[in-house]
Amino acid sequence: MRNQILAANWKMYLTQPQVDEWLSNFQSHDLPNTNSQLRIYPSALFIKDVLKIGLHVGAQNIASQTEGAFTGELSIGQLKSVGAKSVLLGHSERRQLCKESDDDIIQKIVACVNEDFPFIFCCGETLSCRKQNAQNDFILGQLTSNLNGLSSKDLHLLVVAYEPIWAIGTEESASIEQIGQMHNIIRSYLIDRFGSVANQVPILYGGSVNQSNAKDIFRCENVDGALVGGASLDPVIFYELWKALNT
C-alpha cells in the first residue's frame, strides 16, 4: 500500500507564540496509531520547534546550491542539520510570486536527488487554463518537464501534490470528479514514465481542503492524502482532517 500523508503548509504565517500554542494544542489530541504520516512545513526558523514533538518536519524551499555566497538562501545540508526531513518544490506561489522557472525547479529536484532528500512536487493549473479545458495537457507538461531527470530508483523521494491554483485559499475546492480525473491522469503518467514502481508514489490533493469535504476527497481513487494550507493553521481543524484521513 502507498503511504498516506497529511501535510501542513504554514506558508509565512504564525509567530513564535502562535507556533507554541499550535503545538501544545495538537499534542493534547490522541493521535491514532496508523501508518499514515503527518508532515508540517513551517517557516524554517520553526523547524526545531516542530521537531520537538516528534512530527515529520520539512522546509518550504531550498537552494539548489550546496553552499556559497547566496545571501538569504538555505541549503539542503543546513536544513538536514536542524532536522528537516523533506521539502516542498514547485508550489504555485513560488512559481508566480518568486518567479521560479521550470529550470529552477529542475535544479532543485536534482539537488534533492543528489543529497537523497525527499520532496513534494507541486503541480496545478490556473483558472483560465481550466476554463479552456487545457488542464490535462498543462499538468502533463509540468510533470514531463520538471520530473524529466528522475529515474525509477529516485521515486522513493517523490510525492506529487496536485493543487489547482484557482482552488488555493479561495474556499473553492475542485469537485470530487475533477480531483479524481486529475489524480488518475497523474498516476497513469507516472506508471507510463517509470513503470509499476510508480504505484508507490503518493499523490496528494491541495486546494481549500476542509472538514466538510475531506472525507469525500480522501475516498477518491489515487488520492493519498492532502497538502493543506489555511486549514492547517488551526490545530483543531487540522486534527479533524487527520481523523478524516484515518477513517
Q: Give first-to-last CA distance, the chain, whole Å.
A: 16
In this predicted model, what pLDDT tens digit does every residue of 19-35 receive, in sequence order? Answer: 999 999 999 988 877 88
Q: Which three cell numbers stand for residue 101?
A: 522557472
DSSP code for 176:
H
Residues in the chain predicted with pLDDT less than 70, given as ranges, are none
DSSP-assigned states of every residue in 60-89: S---SSSSSS-TT---HHHHHHTT---EEE
Sorted by where each begins, the domain ranges of the chain are 5-245
Q: What three-state secondary structure class fits 129?
A: helix
Q: Which three cell numbers stand for residue 2?
A: 502507498
- CA 144, 146, 148, 152 torsion-angle sign: negative
Q: 5-245: which CATH number, 3.20.20.70, 3.20.20.370, 3.40.50.20, 3.30.70.1430?
A: 3.20.20.70
Alpha-carbon dihedral 85, 78, 101, 232, rounded to 10 degrees: 40
Task: Please list the active-site residues.
Answer: 91, 163
Q: Give whole-number Cα distances, 33 to 37, 118, 186, in Å.
A: 10, 23, 29
Nearest alpha carbon to residue 53 among 42, 67, 64 = 42
The amino acid that residue 194 corresponds to is F
Residue in the structure block whose three cell numbers are 493543506? 228
pLDDT for the residue numbered 171: 72
pLDDT for the residue numbered 220: 95
pLDDT for the residue numbered 98: 96
* Residues contacting 96, CB < 8 A, separation 6+: 165
Residue in the structure block whose three cell numbers are 500523508? 5
Nearest alpha carbon to residue 217 among 3, 4, 2, 1 = 4
In this prediction the pTM is: 0.96
In this predicted model, what pLDDT tens digit does every residue of 130-184 receive, in sequence order? Answer: 999 999 999 999 999 999 999 999 999 999 999 999 988 777 778 999 999 999 9
